[in-house]
Amino acid sequence: MLQDKDTTGSLSGGWTEPRATAVLVLQDGTVLEGFGVGAEGEATGEVCFNTAMTGYEEILTDPSYAGQIITFTFPHIGNVGTNEEDIESVNAASSSGVRGVVLSASITEPSNWRASRDLDAWLKARGVVGLSGIDTRALTALIRDKGMPNAVIAHNPEGRFDIEALKAKAAALPSMDGLDLVPLVTSAQRFDWDETTWTRGEGYGHREGAPKHHVVAIDYGVKRNILRLLARAGCKVTVVPATASAEDVLALKPDGVFLSNGPGDPAATGEYAVPVIRKVLEEKIPTFGICLGHQMLSLAVGAKTKKMHQGHHGANHPVKDKTTGKVEITSMNHGFAVDPETLPENAMETHVSLFDGSNCGIALTDRPAFSVQYHPEASPGPQDSHYLFDRFVQMMDSKKAGLSR
């Protein structure tokens, strides 16, 4: 601020710059200074950007973001606060998968009737280190040019940082390639799920009382709304850890198997997940995968995955369903993609991104199994992609009627 004049009429001071209380140090040594929000301390991760204008609480509790620092391109994050209903991790009390958050504008007081806590206090409670006050457009442009960098985010209210040590730590961080992050977010034990989707006047309190099918969901980091939509579709859902064996899954006598979303390098998770999925496919059990589950299904039939330059993170991604010709506006969160050139003959490409042509879905021609790269349980369309849950149910109907492949 500008200082007052002293008694002689001269300035007693001048412009004083506010001290930076947080820094983001990239692996190439770039240092971005800002103002700390959320938890104090340091966190490390891969920096990505998300283009969504709404749903920041859902994004910050999505287990698929484990090991990452999210930069929001929309400048005003936090203006509707947080609440207890929009958390996407199954264990609402657990720490977020996301390591840190980078914002443009400062967090304001919330203005929404559903808000129970402001975003800053919520970040503190969940141990998420944050930074505001930087040009997130410039950081996004850097990621688009150079790819998603590793970084250290640090918050110290006194503004004291050992920058050289932070640079060394950022430079030494391992690449996301080869990292299996699913153990950080998967369930520790089996449990049942019967909560359905939100309804006016009831919230999420409704329970599915007369399920038609039994679905076993393999949890690589599953989001709550996926389970809600499966329940709403008339399914009894049993969630099992990512490390469940094929014998564990088959012993539950499922009508269908669901492969969930999750974080990290799919090839690393596939070391133990792929053999299980292959046995499920051998039994010709209807199978549906989302995000990492899509990549797991693809790996199980012999395809390959590859690291993306900047990934897909946002709620405005157009995807074409090649089986119908329709275009869906989808929510995405992935840094790896299935290489369509490696798909075997029995895997038909069903969906494709209209941003970059990357693969967004497959269906097997000799097994009742399909998957998509995006998140149909999210609602940017708002319900463009909910038909996929109906498709899964129809597949189970056909299997029971003896009509499936």
Q: Which of 312, 317, 334, 375 is catalytic?
A: 375
Kindly state the greatest CA–CA separation across the chain. 96
**Which residue is catalytic, options 208, 291, 328, 351?**
291
Distances (CA, A) of 58 to 96, 250, 333, 361: 10, 32, 12, 23
Q: Provide the β-strand partners of residue 44.
A: 152
Tokens of 281: 């496919």
Q: Is 289 annotated as contributing to ligand binding?
A: no
Pairing of strands 150-155, 22-26: antiparallel
Between the two ends of the chain, the Cα-to-Cα distance in Å is 72
| Residues 143-169 as b or e (16 or more Cβ within 10 Å = b) | beeebbbbbbbbbeeeeebeeeebbeb
Check whether 270 is labelled as a binding-site residue.
no
Q: In the 8-state DSSP scheme, what is residue 117?
A: B
370 is in an annotated binding site: no
Residue 76 is a catalytic residue: no
Q: Which of 46, 57, 58, 377 is catalytic?
A: 377
375 is catalytic: yes
Contacts of 90 (CB under 8 A, 6+ apart): 187, 219, 222, 223, 224, 227, 239
The closest alpha carbon to 98, from 74, 135, 125, 64, belongs to 64
Annotated ligand binding at 292? The verdict is yes
Determine if residue 72 is labeled as part of a ligand binding site. Answer: no
Residue 262 annotated as part of some ligand binding site: yes
Is 106 labelled as part of a ligand binding site?
no
Asked if residue 336 belongs to a known ligand binding site, the reply is yes
Catalytic (active site) residue 213 = no
Residues that constitute the known binding site:
64, 262, 264, 292, 295, 333, 335-336
Q: Which residues are annotated as a binding site for L-glutamine?
A: 64, 262, 264, 292, 295, 333, 335-336
The catalytic residue positions are: 291, 375, 377
